[in-house]
A = this chain, B = another copy of it.
Amino acid sequence: MLVEFGGTKVLCAASVQDSVPRWRRGSGQGWITAEYAMLPRATNTRNDRESVRGKIGGRTHEISRLIGRSLRACVDYKTLGENSIVIDCDVLQADGGTRTAAITGAYVALVDAVAWMRKRKMCGGDPLVDSVAAVSVGVVGSTALLDLCYTEDVAAETDMNVVMTGSGAFVEVQGTAEGKPFDRAALDELLDLGAAGCAELTRLQREALA
């Protein structure tokens, strides 16, 4: 499925395997993992391909891990059984917030994959115990903004990614001072804004899946 958040377009695809990584075998439990990548021309100036450079960069690693962790928060491994789901998130066009768009879209792809598995009786019941959505928030100038585009992202003094469940709990909070360090009041304002954004995205996910 293709997620679009403003100018950001991410292709999210889920693949099901009836096996789990070696360290998980025999546990009766499943696993969810994710891989994030950007096409070389997703951005305005071309980036070298990581396959050509022969190694994956730190940023790609970091985001892939974040997406995987976020999705795992809404899954019950036992119900999933010894199956794996790999979610590929490929950014076709980037205009800020690619990691949060990827998480939000990946959840929808995950729902599809789980439906496909249940039709084939691969898992006992519904392994999805909640939904997951994510949004980026930031302080530009002295204003807190939701879902920053690229130019806002570059200008942001503080940049925060908020990942929440559909039931309103936090899965991950990552706030970084890009410019000057931020105080507790700014942090609180960003958390409020992020929570509201995630609630709205949860609503949109439900519509898309209905």
Q: Please list the residues of chain A having a beta carbon within 8 angstroms of any beta carbon in chain B.
A: 11, 13, 15, 35, 37, 39-41, 45-46, 49-52, 54-62, 64-65, 69, 73, 86, 88, 90, 92, 130, 164-165, 167-177, 180-184, 187, 191, 195
Contacts and interface: CB of A to CB of B under 8 A. Distances in A.
A173 B173 contact: yes
A177 B74 CA distance: 11
B51 A88 contact: no
Given A58-B65, A174-B175, 16 more contacts: A15-B45, A35-B52, A39-B88, A39-B90, A41-B88, A49-B51, A50-B51, A51-B55, A58-B62, A61-B62, A69-B176, A164-B181, A170-B181, A170-B183, A170-B187, A173-B174
Contact of A54 (B54, B86, B169, B191): B54
Contacts of A92: 11, 92
B37 A49 contact: yes
A86 B49 CA distance: 12
Q: Which 4 A-B pairs have the closest CB atoms?
A: A169-B181, A58-B61, A50-B51, A13-B41
29 contacts: A15-B45, A15-B46, A35-B40, A35-B49, A37-B51, A39-B90, A51-B56, A54-B55, A56-B58, A58-B61, A59-B65, A61-B61, A62-B62, A69-B176, A92-B92, A130-B181, A168-B183, A169-B177, A169-B181, A169-B182, A170-B181, A170-B182, A171-B177, A171-B181, A172-B174, A173-B173, A173-B174, A184-B195, A187-B191
